[in-house]
Copies of this chain bind each other. A is one copy, B any other.
Amino acid sequence: MTNSQIKADVVIIGAGPAGLFAAFQAGMLDLKCHLVDALDSIGGQLSALYPEKPIYDIPGYPEILAGELISMLEAQAQSFGPTYHLGQQVEKLTPLSSGRWDITTSKGTRFDAGAVIIAAGVGAFGPNRPPLEGIEQFEGKGPGLGVNYLVKKREDFRDKRVVIAGGGDSAVDWAVALADVAKSINVVHRRAKFRAQPESVKKMEELAKSGKVEITVPFQLDSIKSENGVISHVCVADLDGNVRELEADVLLAFFGLKQNIGPIADWQLKIENNHIAVDPATMNAGRDGLFAAGDIATYPGKLKLILTGFGEAARAAYSAREHIYPNEDRHFEYSTSRGVPGGAK
């Protein structure tokens, strides 16, 4: 170890919800953590893409905004004082003969870590752009203007005529969440059936019945009409090529994220369709002392939910502890929940 290396128990790659909770859980296990994230702030997609989006499936929170959840997770981890290294990517990951890891980031930060937890979400992310001619000229006009790929603040869409394109959770959830803010909402999807949580689809369909949302299916995006560079209509076509012109101030397109796991692809892990295959019993990523948790980790039966990532992060933290202290009394690792009297059975 050179002098410039930071000695850490655990380096966590990614400071989204899974990474933050891994830092908390590792802290509970008396491990000192450093988190590295490519973004300039913590929270991953939740902060960067949709801080004001309400989330309904965090256990114990009937509703919480994505940004609030991140603040709570940060506060929870904070009692163990993890160190954040933001705006940099981990580029090199080299195992040492001691079982520890030598880690270097794009800014040259270097760690000597007892274990590594990869909680990098989908990696670097960007929206998939719909194949519309000249769409670039409507991008980057600002929130609520032109073509948008995310909602940071619902207020940006107040009194706007919004066309939402897509058939997944994002399209449906935002149709519901913007219904009482926007002037009008028209959801365009190329199939009649939405691939989203049934309950959310129900909500959207109820809003459609009461006239608060319009659903235009099965239609695909065809083109954008504008006046003086400002969108006036989004044109959509059915399977027979019949075109309909929908009045619009903004097109909100949800066609998924381009995933790019970047340097992770070079770390000699088992990569399956941009995800890291792990052993779910330990969250081990196939190399000693290297674990993965959250959206980037995959295994049979995996559900890609934020709450699933929390459980995986906890499991990874326990495994990190076992890796660093292989010979210790393991009683506490499988103790009953902290909440349960008689945990020491």
Point out residues on A near B: beta carbons under 8 Å.
Answer: 17, 21, 24-25, 27-30, 45-46, 49-50, 53, 55-62, 64, 66, 69, 72-73, 75-76, 79-80, 127-128, 149-150, 166-171, 173, 193-200, 202, 254-257, 279-282, 295, 299-312, 314-315, 318, 329, 331-345
| A315–B338 touching, CB < 8 Å | no
- In the assembled complex, the CB of A334 is this many whole angstroms from the nearest CB of chain B, namely 7
Contact of A60 among B49, B64, B300 (CB under 8 A): B64
**Chain B residues with Cβ under 8 A from A61's Cβ?**
60, 72, 76
| A303–B280 touching, CB < 8 Å | no
| B169–A338 touching, CB < 8 Å | yes
| A303–B334 touching, CB < 8 Å | yes
- In the assembled complex, the CB of A54 is this many whole angstroms from the nearest CB of chain B, namely 9
| B127–A342 touching, CB < 8 Å | yes
**A291 CA to B210 CA in the complex, in Å?**
39
Task: Sample 15 A-B pairs with CB under 8 A, ordered by A number.
Answer: A28-B199, A46-B339, A50-B339, A56-B76, A60-B72, A62-B79, A150-B341, A168-B336, A169-B336, A195-B332, A195-B344, A257-B341, A279-B301, A281-B300, A303-B311
Q: Chain B residue with minimal CB distance to A78?
A: B62
**Chain B residues with Cβ under 8 A from A62's Cβ?**
72, 75-76, 79
Contact of A314 among B27, B55, B303, B331 (CB under 8 A): B303
| A170–B341 touching, CB < 8 Å | yes
- In the assembled complex, the CB of A195 is this many whole angstroms from the nearest CB of chain B, namely 4
Q: Chain B residue with minimal CB distance to A20?
A: B59
| B303–A308 touching, CB < 8 Å | no
**Chain B residues with Cβ under 8 A from A56's Cβ?**
28, 76, 338
Contact of A304 among B72, B79, B127, B336 (CB under 8 A): B336
